[in-house]
Amino acid sequence: MKNLLIIVFLCCSYVSFSQASSDEQVKKTLQNYIDGSSYNKLKLLRSAFSKNATLYLTTRDGFKRLTPEDYVGFFKNSKEGEFNGRHGKILSVEVTKDIATARVEISIPKRKWIFIDLFLLKKTGEGWKIISKTATRIDNE
């Protein structure tokens, strides 16, 4: 009986540790997205996305489907490493095996803009990658 309890405890501990580890890895990918887009670090920003990710965003030209390269292009004319006024905060992460969802708040105080970004992530051979993103403004447009 004692051995059975030890085995159950170890199994539960492993599952709990594995879940915490996945949560942290997802948060690291999201932080790469936040830091890459806040400091114009194109390589870091690019690393957060799978190459075939799909982004559904409203731009000046209306609702569009963008590639990661399209999105990275929004930051290409800014000085790398220089803070551009975007603040990011991870609001929630939910991991289920090799997929995850996340909510991130992006604020740009200078323009009085606040966005909620929703992400789908997938664990790949290269680690956790954003496979889809959408966003909406929640300030008083």
Q: Where are the domains of the chain?
A: 2-137
Q: Please check whether residue 78 is in contact with residue 84, taking contact to mean a CB–CB distance below 8 angstroms.
A: yes
Instruction: Express each pLDDT in 15-29 by its tens digit.
Output: 444 456 899 999 999
Check residue 75 and give its pLDDT: 96
**CATH number listed for the domain at residues 2-137:** 3.10.450.50
- pLDDT (average), residues 106-116: 96
Closest CA to 55 of 35, 41, 71: 71
Q: What is the pTM of this model?
A: 0.84
Whether the predicted pLDDT of 1 surpasses 50: yes
- pLDDT (average), residues 57-81: 95
Instruction: Express each pLDDT in 74-97 by its tens digit.
Output: 999 999 999 999 999 999 999 999
Check residue 90 and give its pLDDT: 98
Distance between CA 26 and CA 141 in Å, rounded? 31
